Amino acid sequence: MLQYLEQFENFYGPFRLFRYLSFRCVMAAATAMIIGWVIAPYAIKVLHKIKFGQSFRTESQVGQLANLHSAKKGTPTMGGIIIYFSLMISILLWCKLNMLVIAAIFVYTTLTVLGFADDYLKIKRKNSDGVSGKIKLLVQTLVAIGFVLMMLNSPYAQVIRELHVPFFKDPIIAQMPICLLIIFVFLVIGGSSNAINLTDGVDGLAIGCTVSVALAYSVLAYITSHAVIAGYLFLPMIAGAGELCVLCCALLGASMAFLWYNAHPAQIFMGDTGSLALGGLIGSIAIMVQQPVTLVIIGGIFVMEAGSVILQVASFKLTKKRIFRCSPIHHHFEYLGWKETQVVIRFWILSLIFALAGLATLKIR
């Protein structure tokens, strides 16, 4: 909304700043951060009052883990609503609403509603059983189909049908069949959504890693919107992708504001309201800037977390033995004696390394 003030620069010269992408990126990040800082204390107070606290499994179910996290029982959850409102207000203020932004909002909002329903059922039932896995997969499938249909009926139809991978100049698939496209989009959005959900197990871990990923994709979105830089790096130029850069900066600001209250000892958890939606949003952005495979590198921590669960389940079913003492893998290190803050900070460092490694692939083509 505010970006249209550039049209009135003849009346007031400084309005020309709203024309520049860099200015809107900085303002989007600052706006989301300030809004998050302002609304978080009120959200925490309200959630405390209505007793929307986190439920944990009993000691008989998780053994040592229950003891490690027993002090967190009753901490307010559903903190994803703080991220949602701070991010959405910033987007509406600073982004030009092209189809890329609208599609991202569709994915993010739908999965926020799914996550909210999941958190609500867990609180109502006072256990860890929320929305069933089948329903989650169904909603994620419908989100993927809706996303594909929106993109195919837009100027970005060709963008979404190309598959680019790191280290190659040209797309390995130039015209992906629609059925394959839907499956691929589901795997990226659904996989990213569930991976961040699994990562959200200790204070500040998931949202801190989201900061690194959002920063990396803001760079990728900016590059793909800039004809000269995109050409130099042998990347396709995507008109309007700069608005995704603004969105990523807003996500960065909202995430940092939430991290302020989610850092150990957490005053609030994001819950599935935040984790499912953030994963889907990041996955959709990765697809729209034609870097979905690079997400495996940039989101390396999320891949580690999801991979540890898959390996643990597969090993136990096949051999009746566990590879890790507990999964996701951050709990494994807690069992080894690492303090929660050690796990989180070390994983943040790895997340930043993964993000830089993903950006480095742009030069190796």
Assess contact for 112 and 269: CB atoms under 8 A: no
Assess contact for 77 and 201: CB atoms under 8 A: no
| Residue 219 token pair | 């760079």
| Residue 127 token pair | 């256990």
pTM: 0.92
Helices marked H in 236-339: 242-262, 271-288, 295-298, 300-319, 329-335
What pLDDT is stored for residue 61 in this prediction? 42
What pLDDT is stored for residue 185 in this prediction? 96
What pLDDT is stored for residue 353 in this prediction? 97
CB proximity list for 133: less than 8 A, separation 6 or greater: none
pLDDT tens digit string along 300-315?
A: 999 999 999 999 999 9
Q: pLDDT tens track of the chain, all 365 residues?
A: 666 555 555 565 566 677 788 889 999 999 999 999 999 999 999 988 887 766 555 444 445 555 666 667 778 888 999 999 999 999 999 998 999 999 999 999 999 999 999 988 888 877 667 788 889 999 999 999 999 999 999 999 988 999 989 888 888 888 899 999 999 999 999 999 999 999 988 899 999 999 999 999 999 999 999 999 998 888 889 999 999 999 999 999 999 999 999 998 889 999 899 999 999 999 999 999 999 999 999 999 999 999 999 999 999 888 888 898 888 999 899 888 889 999 999 999 999 999 999 999 998 87
Assess contact for 140 and 283: CB atoms under 8 A: no
C-alpha gyration radius of the chain: 20
Q: Would you say the C-alpha torsion 88, 93, 94, 97 has a positive or negative sign? A: positive
Residue 219 CA, distance from chain mean position: 16
Return d(Cα 269, Cα 271) in angstroms, integer. 5
Please count the helices (runs of H) and the strands (runs of E) in the chain.
Answer: 16, 0
Going from N- to C-terminal start, the domains of the chain cover 2-360
Q: Give the amino acid at 255.
A: S
What pLDDT is stored for residue 130 in this prediction? 77
